[in-house]
Amino acid sequence: MNAAAQRFRKPHCFLVYALAPEGISASVANDVFNDYIADPSLPVPLFHDHFIGTGGGVAIFYVEDAAGQAALSASPHLADWDLHIHPLIYADSPAAFDDQIAFTLRTYRGLSWERLQRLDQAASGSQDG
């Protein structure tokens, strides 16, 4: 729970990497992690996903103040979990998180975030019909 040791400086997106204790099934771990994400006492979640083969998941929260930062590690939902919480450098707002995705795709793979979104929507639509 390393974020608790870091002094809050300004609003930023924080990455939460959470591993369930041994012996918890993936299904139960997913439910517990979803309860954590849904908790209205926590900062706004922007993204989350679960791990395959290991109980746990990753999430990105937009943290606006020191109380929000402390809440990420103090939540009773993940009390026995192995938590790693880190502020992100460039994602200092929800829009900046989205911009960072677009920047990474464009800079490191020459891909357009908007084009990938349209392709995904087209593929999803063709599967439904």
Tell me: the pLDDT tens digits for 110-125? Answer: 999 888 888 888 998 8
What single-letter amino acid sits at 97? F
* pLDDT score, position 4: 47
Tell me: the pLDDT tens digits for 19-31? Answer: 999 999 999 999 9
Q: Where are the beta strands (DSSP E) in the chain?
A: 12-19, 44-50, 56-63, 82-87
Q: Quote the CA–CA distance of 64 and 9 in Å, as a whole number.
A: 10
pTM here is 0.86
Spans of the chain below 50 pLDDT:
1, 3-4, 128-129
Residues 6+ apart with CB under 8 A from 39: 75, 77
Antiparallel, parallel or unpaired: β 44-50 and 56-63: antiparallel
